[in-house]
C-alpha cells in the first residue's frame, strides 16, 4: 500500500487550499491539525511492516505535506498564491514561507548558494564516508556530516535553484556557529522556516490565551510531538524522548529569557549537541541513521 503515501501527501496539501477559505481561525486550525494527524496516522497504517527507513521517509513526507497545508491556510487571506506557485511551494521547497512565492523578482543572487551548497554536499559526503569507513557509530559523529551535506548543502543548492527561477527564498539553516543563545539558535539559526511556522501556528495563538511564556513552551512541546511522529513512530521505539529533549530546551530558553542575556555560543552548542541521544533514540540511530551509511557498502561493492 505504499502507493497510498503520495495520495496522503496530496491530501494534506490540497487541504490547505480548502482551509484557507475558512474565516474562523479556531475552526481553520482545528480542522488543519485534524487533517495533519489523520494523514500521518494513515501513513503509519499503510506503511506497517515496511523497512524503518521507508517508514520514516513516507511518514515525514506526509507530515511535511500536512504542515504545508497548515501554514498556507494560516498565511492566506486576501494574498492567495496561484495554483502553480502553491505547488512549487508545497512540493519543491522545504521552507514554510509561502510569501516568497507570491511574485517573482529579477536579478536575485543565486550562484554563491549553488557553489557553497555543492561544496558542503561534498564535505558532508566525504565526512559520512569517513564515519562509515572508521566504523564510528556515536550519534553526534554520525549526524554531523549528514547534516552538513543535507541541511547546509543540499537545501542551499535548492535555495539557489529557486532564486535562479526568481523566487526570493531565504537560507533555512544560517550559520549555527554564530548562535549566541538557545533562543537565537532555535529562532534564527536552525530551520528558520520551521520556527516561523511554529510561531504562527502554535506560539501566537497560545500566547494570546495564556501569555508569552506559555506560547514559547507550547512551541517546544509541539515540536517534540512532531518529532515523535518523524523519529520514534517509524521505528516504534523511544517514545517520549524527543519530547523530553524539546521540553528541556523550552525550559532552558525560558530561563535564558528570564536571565535577560543569552547563554553564549559554546554553552548553547553543547546544550544542543550533548543530549542528541534523546532526540534520536537508540533504535532510530541503529535502524535509520547508521543504516543510511550502508549506502557506502553498495558503492564499495560489499
pTM for this model (two decimals): 0.93
pLDDT at 94: 95
Residue 57 lies in a domain: yes
Q: Which residue has the higher pLDDT, 294 or 166?
A: 166
Q: Can you tell me the distance from the alpha carbon of 106 to that of 166, in angstroms, rounded to the nearest whole number? A: 6
pLDDT at 244: 98
pLDDT in tens, 95-149: 999 999 999 999 999 999 999 999 999 999 999 999 999 999 999 999 999 999 9
Residue 79 — very low, low, confident or very high, per pLDDT cuts 50/70/90? confident
Residue 241 lies in a domain: no
| Cα dist from 200 to 38, 41, 194, 204, 243, whole Å | 21, 24, 10, 6, 20
Q: Can you tell me the distance from the alpha carbon of 296 to that of 302, in angstroms, rounded to the nearest whole number? A: 8
Residue 143 lies in a domain: no
pLDDT in tens, 168-225: 999 999 988 899 999 999 999 999 989 989 998 999 999 999 999 999 999 999 999 9
Phi, psi at 146, each rounded to 5°: -65, -40
Determine the Cα angle at 186 with ends 215 and 144, to 5°.
145
Among residues 98, 93, 108, 88, the alpha carbon closest in space to that of 164 is found at 108
Residue 17 lies in a domain: yes
Q: Can you tell me the distance from the alpha carbon of 64 to that of 40, in angstroms, rounded to the nearest whole number? A: 10
The residues, ordered by sequence, that sit 6+ positions from 108 with a Cβ below 8 Å of its Cβ are 163, 164, 166, 168
| Domains held by the chain: number | 1
Q: Can you tell me the distance from the alpha carbon of 158 to that of 96, in angstroms, rounded to the nearest whole number? A: 14
Residue 229 lies in a domain: no
Among residues 81, 44, 80, the alpha carbon closest in space to that of 63 is found at 44
| Cα dist from 76 to 53, 70, 72, 193, whole Å | 34, 10, 6, 16
Q: Can you tell me the distance from the alpha carbon of 82 to that of 215, in angstroms, rounded to the nearest whole number? A: 32
Residue 127 lies in a domain: no
pLDDT at 175: 85
What helix, strand, coil percent values describe the chain, rounded to 5?
75, 0, 25
pLDDT at 302 over 60: no
pLDDT at 109: 97
Residue 83 lies in a domain: yes
pLDDT at 301: 65
pLDDT in tens, 238-290: 999 999 999 999 999 999 999 999 999 999 999 999 999 999 999 999 999 99
Residue 51 — very low, low, confident or very high, per pLDDT cuts 50/70/90? very high
Domain of 51, in residue numbers: 1-104
Residue 193 lies in a domain: no
Q: Can you tell me the distance from the alpha carbon of 75 to that of 63, in angstroms, rounded to the nearest whole number? A: 18
Among residues 244, 206, 231, the alpha carbon closest in space to that of 281 is found at 231
pLDDT at 81 over 90: yes
Report the chain's C-alpha Rg in angstroms. 19
Amino acid at each position: 500500500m505504499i502507493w497510498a503515501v503520495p495520495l496522503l501527501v496530496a491530501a494534506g496539501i490540497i487541504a490547505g487550499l480548502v482551509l484557507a477559505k475558512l474565516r474562523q481561525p479556531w475552526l481553520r486550525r482545528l480542522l488543519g491539525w485534524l487533517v495533519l494527524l489523520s494523514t500521518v496516522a494513515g501513513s503509519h497504517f499503510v506503511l506497517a511492516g515496511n523497512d524503518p527507513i521507508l517508514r520514516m521517509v513516507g511518514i515525514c513526507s506526509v507530515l511535511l505535506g500536512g504542515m504545508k497545508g497548515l501554514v498556507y491556510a494560516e498565511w492566506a487571506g486576501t494574498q492567495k498564491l496561484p495554483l502553480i506557485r502553491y505547488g512549487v511551494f508545497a512540493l519543491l521547497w522545504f521552507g514554510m514561507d509561502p510569501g516568497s512565492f507570491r511574485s517573482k523578482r529579477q536579478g536575485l543572487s543565486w550562484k554563491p548558494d549553488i557553489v557553497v551548497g555543492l561544496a558542503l554536499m561534498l564535505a558532508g559526503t566525504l565526512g559520512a564516508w569517513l564515519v562509515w569507513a572508521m566504523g564510528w557509530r556515536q550519534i553526534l559523529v554520525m549526524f554531523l556530516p549528514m547534516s552538513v551535506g543535507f541541511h547546509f548543502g543540499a537545501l542551499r543548492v535548492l535555495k539557489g535553484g529557486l532564486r535562479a527561477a526568481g523566487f526570493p527564498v531565504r537560507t533555512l539553516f544560517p550559520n549555527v556557529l554564530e548562535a549566541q543563545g538557545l533562543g537565537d539558535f532555535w529562532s534564527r539559526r536552525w530551520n528558520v522556516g520551521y520556527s516561523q511556522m511554529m510561531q504562527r501556528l502554535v506560539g501566537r495563538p497560545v500566547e494570546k490565551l495564556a501569555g508569552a511564556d506559555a506560547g514559547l513552551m507550547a512551541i517546544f512541546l509541539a515540536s517534540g510531538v512532531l518529532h515523535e511522529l518523524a523519529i520514534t513512530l517509524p521505528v516504534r521505539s523511544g517514545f517520549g524522548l524527543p519530547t523530553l529533549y524539546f521540553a528541556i530546551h523550552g525550559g532552558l530558553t525560558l530561563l535564558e529569557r528570564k536571565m535577560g542575556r543569552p547563554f553564549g555560543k559554546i554553552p548553547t552548542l553543547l546544550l544542543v549537541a550533548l543530549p542528541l541521544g534523546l532526540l534520536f533514540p537508540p533504535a532510530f540511530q541503529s535502524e535509520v541513521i547508521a543504516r543510511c551509511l550502508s549506502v557506502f557498502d553498495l558503492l564499495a561493492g560489499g
